[in-house]
Amino acid sequence: MSKKTDSNSYTMIFAVIMVLLVGSVLAFFASSLKPNIDENKRIEKQQNILYAMGVNENDESSANFVSTDIAGDEFVKYIKKQIIIQGDKITEDNEAYLIDVKKQQANAKAGKERKLPLFVGEKDGQTFYVAPIRGKGLWDAIWGYVAMDQDMIVQGAYFDHKGETPGLGANIKQRYFMDDFIGEHLLDASGNFKGITVAKGNNDAINNDKEDHEVDAIAGATITGDGVSAMIKSDLRLYVSYFKTLKK
């Protein structure tokens, strides 16, 4: 049977029209919604940073951010200083939280000096230093924010991911995993950077030992867990020299 839809010219014209139509529809949606999406992302960054330093609405077992309406005000209230570390140069910048860590990592690879944002927060008289980290999970990017005190002992952590497996790797953003990092030491006894490893079978499932540089891994999420270890090691190491200056 021969229909008009079988001819080559019809197929070509159909393809061209379809591509143009779909392309412009998608472009329209993407560009008209972009301001909203960017705003949501900006608020989310503030919520993430606040979450890491303990400003959140956690209940017994689930992780909850401060609500989006107050995130901006809370951010100004708790974050006292935002600094950018670039080599030996340290500058203050109130928009440091908008720095794209991915871009900075690419810059570092290209041999340029990387900008390292660090957020200094204060809550109940305690000072927190929150640093962003970013790395690779099993399927896609993973990232997070780690709040430390001036001895680089973790005070809080928030992890997130783009597309880890639901129920397995995606559980890095669950309370039971993130909370294990609290109290862990990043530096060993002599002050060298050691990081924190997401370890299988470390016989410390409830994480009593805070100085073993290990937290218990998630079953079925080995590669995501390794990614978390790797991004902690590679990204937080860069802040060590800054923390040393705090001690002087």
**In the complex, least distance from residue 16 CB atom to another protein, rounded to whole angstroms:** 11
Nearer to another protein, 10 or 211 (CB): 10
Nearer to another protein, 191 or 220 (CB): 220
Nearer to another protein, 100 or 140 (CB): 140
Residues that bind another protein (CB under 8 A): 3, 5-6, 10-11, 14-15, 18, 22, 25-26, 29-30, 33, 36-37, 40, 44, 61-62, 68, 162-168, 170, 205-206, 219-220
**In the complex, least distance from residue 29 CB atom to another protein, rounded to whole angstroms:** 5
Nearer to another protein, 25 or 246 (CB): 25
**In the complex, least distance from residue 220 CB atom to another protein, rounded to whole angstroms:** 4
Nearer to another protein, 6 or 124 (CB): 6
Q: Could you write out the DSSP letters of every residue in the chain?
A: ---GGGSHHHHHHHHHHHHHHHHHHHHHHHHHHHHHHHHHHHHHHHHHHHHHTT-S---SSS--PPPHHHHHHHHHHHEEEEEEEETTEEEE-TTGGG--HHHHHHHHHTTPPPPEEEEEEEETTEEEEEEEEEEE-SSSEEEEEEEE-TT-BEEEEEEEESSPPTTTGGGGGSHHHHGGGTT-BSB-TTS-B---EEESS-S-TT---TTSSEEEPPTT-HHHHHHHHHHHHHHHGGGHHHHHHHH-
**In the complex, least distance from residue 28 CB atom to another protein, rounded to whole angstroms:** 10
**In the complex, least distance from residue 117 CB atom to another protein, rounded to whole angstroms:** 22
